[in-house]
Amino acid sequence: MFNATVILIVLAICFLAITLFALVSMFIMRGREQNREEVRAVEDVVAELDKSLDAAITEINKMGALVQKDITDKHNEILFLYNLILDKHKEIENVKDGDIISEMVEQYLQTHSAQLQLLAEENAILNSTPEIIEVEVEEVKKERKRPVFTNPKHEEIWNRRELGQTNAEIAKDMNIGQGEVKLILDLADRAS
């Protein structure tokens, strides 16, 4: 009987051990399954973050390309303006200061001497007969039309206007600004 009791106790201990082993295994399996679910959830979050990050990087690259294009365009505009300024600077350097001053003085004298001469001629015309007045007025107009130029560029601008070109056409053909053409023609008109 002693043997049967020991066998029953051993069997009971084995049963308890197997049950305990099964319970522990079941808890471990549940823990692993929960860990797998948590890992899957974390992987899903990471995948979503990766997609969001990729979309953000794509947008940043697009914006970067637009900014780069804008910078390049502005750079080209600045280079164009710089080259214009450099060309004008070279043109100014090529003209001597004395030439500029003497040209200004000469134009000033021409303007005033032409005005005095015109006043004297108009006075003479007023004191003459009507037939002479018409002839003299036409002669005065012819004399007033063409000023004396010391700068060939200014003379070319005048000649182009006489041929019927507009200020814009002259500026385009001679590769200068419209304001410069207008200023030269205005000064020449005053001098004539």
Q: In degrees, to the nearest 5, what angle opens at C-alpha 162 toward C-alphas 156 and 167?
A: 70
DSSP one-letter code for 164 = T
**Is 32's pLDDT higher than 60?**
yes
Average pLDDT, the chain: 77
CA distance 159 to 181: 12
Report the pLDDT value the prediction gives residue 1, as an integer from 0 to 100.
57
Report the pLDDT value the prediction gives residue 130, as an integer from 0 to 100.
52
Q: Give the model confidence (pLDDT) of 48-87 as tens digits.
A: 888 888 888 888 888 888 888 888 888 888 878 787 787 7
Q: Are 140 and 121 in contact (CB under 8 A)?
A: yes
Q: What Cα–Cα distance (Å) separates residue 33 from each residue in 18, 39, 42?
A: 22, 10, 14
* Local confidence band at 105 (pLDDT 50, 70, 90 cut-offs): low
* Mean pLDDT for the stretch of residues 160-170: 92
Report the pLDDT value the prediction gives residue 12, as an integer from 0 to 100.
84
* Mean pLDDT for the stretch of residues 132-142: 52
* Mean pLDDT for the stretch of residues 36-54: 86
**Is 171's pLDDT higher than 90?**
yes
CA distance 148 to 134: 25
Contacts of 111 (CB under 8 A, 6+ apart): 190, 191
Report the pLDDT value the prediction gives residue 11, as an integer from 0 to 100.
84
CA distance 60 to 114: 69
Alpha helices in 95-151 (DSSP H): 97-126, 130-145
Report the pLDDT value the prediction gives residue 172, as an integer from 0 to 100.
93
